[in-house]
Amino acid sequence: MFNELDRNHALTLEIDTLFNNAGIMESGPMVEIPMSVFRSVFETNVFAALELAQGFARKMVRRGSGRIVWTSSVAGLVKVPFDGAYAASKHAVEGICSAMHEELKPYGVEVVTVNPGAYRTGFNDTGMESMDQWWGHGERVVEHWPVRELDKQHDPAEMIEAIIGVIEAEHPPYRTVRPESAEAMVKREQDEVWKQGL
């Protein structure tokens, strides 16, 4: 919720669970992406989401119960060349969530994440195309990234089921990554980072 009026109205409600799902994706190499585009990603994915979470967290702390479910991403756990702005915003979400999780636990408020991989929702498709809006407006020092085939995306029903499970569970795990192949990939890549040289 980026709109202040919408956010203020939402905060008049009493809820048990906040599903914090706002997100946009802008692609492009880090050396070329316009700062205004980069900032817009953080404005929606990080700052607006945190502001909404803060508002509801305060209400939950006063009540002594509640759950905040953040939509992070597999991109918040691994490297994602040419989607660095989106990945950076989701790495920021991971940092926020890990802090909030520990800070709010003593007050009976749970903070957890769901981390989707690639699903057939159209989100990844439009995100990949987004850099074409600004690419031709200036001199570039690196090549335009090759178009990736998005033919290995998964059925979103799997992620929807996982999210419902996290919302309804008595004690959900802190992190829920889907599909399972993405979870294995994340663990493998994080392990490789500690071992790699230049």
Supply the residues annotated as catalytic.
86
51, 100 in Cβ contact below 8 A? Answer: no
- Residue 180, phi then psi, degrees to nearest 5: -60, -30
> Residue 194 to residues 5, 91, 105, 175: CA-CA distances in angstroms?
45, 18, 30, 21
- CB count within 10 Å of CB 5 equals 8
**How are strands ordered across the β-sheet holding 66-71?**
17-20, 66-71, 109-116, 175-178
Give the three-state DSSP class for 134. Answer: coil
Q: How far apart are CA 73 and CA 85, in angstroms?
A: 13
